[in-house]
Amino acid sequence: MSDQLRPAGAAEQLDREAPVPLHAQVSEQIRARIMSGEWPPHYRLRSEPELAVDLGISRGTLRRALSTLIRDGLLVQVRGRGTFVTSTAIEPSIAQKLTTLSEDFARQGVAVSTQVISHELISAPSPVAALLDLRPGQSVLRLERIRSLSPGPVARLVNYVRVDLAPGLERADLTDRSLFGLLENEYGLKISTGRRTFTATAASGATAAALEVPESFPLLYLEQITYLDDGRPIEYSDVWIHSERMRVTSLLSRR
């Protein structure tokens, strides 16, 4: 088939003397075919033995290449059926791992821009104070940002972070940095677990304006509480996701 990786074409592109591992070269070839639309959503790849022979590589090398793309949300394996290309809509792994949207986008090589709407110390609202185990009126950092892809805004994020555990956080520039990465690398905090709840909601007010959608447009709403390894809550957030520009997929196991 013309749309499959063939020995003549693919083998010529694999540089066995290059410092880049073969599995990384193969994953980039496949990624390019997916991103160009040559392999569309729901396309089924040939079997691993066939692809490995075609490429002139071991099945172990091929599996490493496929694993990278599965982790990045570009491929999905269905037991007994094969390996398929996922939807071309961005599919972060936030329903599977405790990562941030910026970390997921970076891992997938997706260009994303961030606009910081507000970044200020406030008295924690009563529900937030209770969730973060704070005294009523205790200060928190309220951080509001808009994440955008090439088609337009994809998510509105409002984070509340305990500044008693991260003093001076209100002075940090979070335009191009991951919040979790900053807390871990600059403050030495070990983020361990989190609780995420996904619900459907209708766009309204500030959220509709931020995501550039009409009132009542269907959105995915994510509520999150994040905990350190000692059990203390560190962050609470509300996230509204543009349902046509990004979808959340979970890879599940029956046992």
If one counts the domains in the chain, the total is 2
Residue 158 has what pLDDT?
97
Q: In whole angstroms, what is the distance from residue 191 CA to residue 123 CA?
A: 23
Is the per-residue pLDDT at 251 higher than 80?
Answer: no
**Domain end marker among 85, 116, 151:** 85
* Same-domain status, 186 and 227: yes
Same domain, 53 and 159: no
Q: Are strands 218-228 and 233-242 parallel, antiparallel or unpaired?
A: antiparallel
Average pLDDT over the chain reads 84
- Kindly tell me the burial class for residue 159, based on how many C-beta atoms sit within 10 Å of its own C-beta (0-12, 13-18, 19 or more): buried
pLDDT in tens, 189-247: 999 988 888 899 999 999 999 999 999 999 999 999 999 999 899 999 999 999 888 87
pLDDT exceeds cutoff 70 at 88:
no
User: Is 50 exceeded by the pLDDT of residue 131?
Assistant: yes
Residue that terminates a domain, selected from 60, 85, 110: 85
Q: Whole-prediction pTM value?
A: 0.63
Tokens of 110: 């997706």
Q: Nearest CA to 244 among 115, 154, 112, 110? A: 154
Residue 254 predicted with pLDDT over 80: no
Verify that 50 and 133 share a domain, yes or no. Answer: no
Query: What percent of the chain shows pLDDT beyond 70?
Result: 84
Q: Residue 47: give the domain boundaries.
A: 7-85
Do 122 and 198 belong to one domain?
A: yes
Query: 106 and 222 share a domain?
Result: yes
- Residue range 24-49: average pLDDT? 84
Task: Specify the pLDDT at position 97.
Answer: 61
Asked whether residue 108 is assigned to any structural domain, the reply reads: yes
What is residue 9's predicted lDDT score, i.e. its pLDDT? Answer: 40
pLDDT at site 252:
54
Q: What is the CATH number of the domain that holds 13?
A: 1.10.10.10
